[in-house]
Structure 1
């Protein structure tokens, strides 16, 4: 049996590895899979936040009025009441603490692009996660076979010694 890593990776004959090497490989694949899954969840969360921002622009700002009260987020769990001063422009967080004033149309386009970029990244990452999961299953199968074979040999030797 052989397993290969991502495109351009090396192929390893898993049958030639010892149980200890297979265990280390399994541990490494588990760690990589855990990291990639965490990254996937973080990207999915960012995409959800961008969708919420886009929804806020499309439903809240575009159809709002300057005398209608809104809740302004100070932190993720603290909001204060306020009103919109200008319906034609919004302040957009472009990352790492930088904010830019944009028209509502430009802000909607910005968030729409971000959502599409993240969707592409999520698809790519999902393919990598699926590949790593497949590799992990193959390694687990070979490891299980080797452990069972080693137990079988031990049992056979014990039976022969008892005779």
Structure 2
């Protein structure tokens, strides 16, 4: 048995089968497009995280005012703690950030490690987006071919259908 998918001769399919295949491909394209948009949004959020670490933590003193989100619509005012300020809850190695690693878990990392983590996420998403773009391109080409074969079959049916109708209609003189 070969593991490669077998091709189907589209000319052997009926108009109904071609229409069903066209609908399925259109649905798959819609799903891939929405997935693509969600991945782009996630990639943008990770880039925002990198920018937030770079702009909000690195090189800023404890005088920088911030708004910390508690929910999507509730924020509290805060300031960044200075790395040199004595704080019993902060590690002695300097400033840290909490990184969302998914499913509600957060890990404390240095700003540099936080940036590296999010850059890795952005790179992974870039690869996934590239794969989705290739899949969309292939499915678009398949859909175009199916639509062309379907159009040709429908025109052939119309031509043969109108030809038989003419033959069945008695000529009146």
How does the TM-score come out when normalised to structure 2? 0.85
Change beyond 3 A, Cα 1:86–1:129 = farther
The reply to whether residue 31 of structure 1 matches residue 49 of structure 2 is no
| Deviation sequence 1:114-158 (CA, Å, 0-9, x none) | 111110111011101110111111111111111111111111111
| Deviation sequence 1:31-65 (CA, Å, 0-9, x none) | 11111111111111100000000011112211322
Larger radius of gyration: 2
Cα distance in structure 1, aligned partners of 2:28 and 2:44: 24
Cα distance in structure 2, aligned partners of 1:150 and 1:27: 20
1:132 to 129, 139, 142: 139
Structure with the larger helix share = 1
Give the stretch that moved more between structures: 46-55 or 34-43: 34-43
Instruction: Give ranges in structure 2 of 5+ residues lacking alignment.
Output: 84-94
SS in 2 for 1:11: coil
The reply to whether residue 115 of structure 1 matches residue 122 of structure 2 is yes
Cα distance in structure 1, aligned partners of 2:73 and 2:159: 59
Note the C-alpha offset of 1:27.
1.1
Structure with the larger strand share = 1
Cα distance in structure 2, aligned partners of 1:66 and 1:153: 82
Q: Aligned residue for 2:62?
A: 66
How does the TM-score come out when normalised to structure 1? 0.90
The reply to whether residue 12 of structure 1 matches residue 8 of structure 2 is yes
Q: Aligned residue for 1:141?
A: 148
Note the C-alpha offset of 1:10.
2.0
SS in 2 for 1:75: coil
Question: Any runs of at least 4 consecutive aligned residues in structure 1 with deviations exceeding 6 A, and if so which?
Answer: none
Instruction: Give ranges in structure 1 of 5+ residues lacking alignment.
Output: 1-6
SS in 1 for 2:63: coil
The reply to whether residue 80 of structure 1 matches residue 90 of structure 2 is no
Change beyond 3 A, Cα 1:77–1:150 = farther
Note the C-alpha offset of 1:77.
4.1
Note the C-alpha offset of 1:160.
1.7
Tell me how many residue pairs correspond in the alignment: 157
